[in-house]
Amino acid sequence: MDIKNGFPGAVGNTPLIRLNSFSEETGCEILGKAEFMNPGGSVKDRAALYIIEDAERQGRLRPGGTVVEGTAGNTGIGLAHICNAKGYRCLIVIPDTQSQEKIDTLRTLGAEVRTVPAVPYKDPNNYVKLSGRIAAEMDNAIWANQFDNLANRQAHYETTGPEIWTQTGGKVDAWVAATGTGGTYAGVAMFLKERKASLKAVLADPMGSGLYSYAKTGEITIMGNSITEGIGNSRVTANMAGAPIDDAIQIDDQECLRVLYQLLRKDGLFMGGSVGINVGAAVALAKQMGPGHTIVTVLCDSGSRYQSRLYNREWLASKGLTMPE
């Protein structure tokens, strides 16, 4: 018998998929951890589960309590599913720049959703800071605080990293991923580096994020912008602090789209925007490292969450981008 205990029991243990078209082009094994196959549809189910169960263990979250979070969407979706499964309420603060698909999903799941204008982190009305203040003012409520709550990267250190190690039989030369909170990148990088010191941990970054320059120069400088959602940052979060970074690769939106449409048309994978950045960076890294290497990245969520944007010619044109032929 192989039965998972409810939604929480079904999180993780995702397949590792060989990305055939990219592997053949580069002569490397380019492998994607299929996080879109989590029951809530994204990599963030793992962090959501660890954050809630950590608060339960510490007695900070009691029956009937509320989980509050500021999120670009996927963490909120994971939290909302788990709150339903465990009998908690869920309140989500989300910037109004995020896709309608994610906002609609949160409302369907029964979360209370507050959309707020997207303002920089230094502004007191930034969605993350606002969610912290809302939680502090409520009884029996926790602030998930995914950016700085280390239960987030612990999820990846204890589950995603070991799964990748087992699935590759330890035959992995590089790990490359973009970061939002940094939980996925840092947790996996820390685990794999402990197992294999020669492994290369490479940060992938979209335009409009300061982490590429941080990795290259130690200074955060932001240039350009990106249509990708849930990745990039203008600060080093607690989850990123101390994570090994051997190098960084920046991928622009047009290259991200080229990769997404190749994944769709040649590999049969319908993926969200951050996957275009991740696989684009894996391909660039494969070219740097040369044939014969195994490179693992993460397939964070599905394209269905962004159908009206990334897979819509008119929307792309409105952003000055071309739908790949």
Where do contacts with ligand PMP occur on this chain (CB under 6 A)?
42-44, 72, 74, 178-185, 230-231, 272, 274, 300-301
Say whether 128 sits in a helix, a strand or coil. helix
**67, 140 in Cβ contact below 8 A?**
no
Q: Please state the separation of Cα 54 from the chain's center in Å.
A: 20
Gap between the Cα atoms of 97 and 74, Å rounded:
14
Residue 250's nearest CA partner among 287, 217, 211 is 211
Residue 18's nearest CA partner among 27, 31, 5, 28 is 31
Annotated catalytic residues are: 44
Burial class (CB in 10 A: 0-12, 13-18, 19+), 82: buried
Neighbours of 234 (CB within 10 A): 15
Nearer residue to ligand PMP within complex by CB, 33 or 293: 33
Nearer residue to ligand PMP within complex by CB, 180 or 280: 180
Residue 189: CB minimum distance to ligand PMP, A: 11
Nearer residue to ligand PMP within complex by CB, 69 or 293: 69
Residue 305: CB minimum distance to ligand PMP, A: 8
Nearer residue to ligand PMP within complex by CB, 51 or 286: 51
Gap between the Cα atoms of 97 and 324, Å rounded:
24
Of all residues in the shown chain, the one whose CB is closest to ligand PMP is: 230
Nearer residue to ligand PMP within complex by CB, 269 or 300: 300
Residue 59: CB minimum distance to ligand PMP, A: 26
Burial class (CB in 10 A: 0-12, 13-18, 19+), 321: middle
CA distances 205 to 7, 20, 252, 308, Å, are: 31, 23, 9, 23
Residue 292: CB minimum distance to ligand PMP, A: 28
Residue 48: CB minimum distance to ligand PMP, A: 11
Residue 166: which residues within 8 A CB-CB, separation 6 or more?
Answer: none
Nearer residue to ligand PMP within complex by CB, 74 or 294: 74
**41, 270 in Cβ contact below 8 A?**
no
Residue 110: CB minimum distance to ligand PMP, A: 20
Nearer residue to ligand PMP within complex by CB, 25 or 158: 158
Residue 174: CB minimum distance to ligand PMP, A: 18
Burial 122-159 (b: 16+ CB within 10 A, else e): eeeebbbbbbbebbeeeeebbbbbbbbbbbbbbbbbeb
Gap between the Cα atoms of 253 and 241, Å rounded:
27
**273, 260 in Cβ contact below 8 A?**
yes
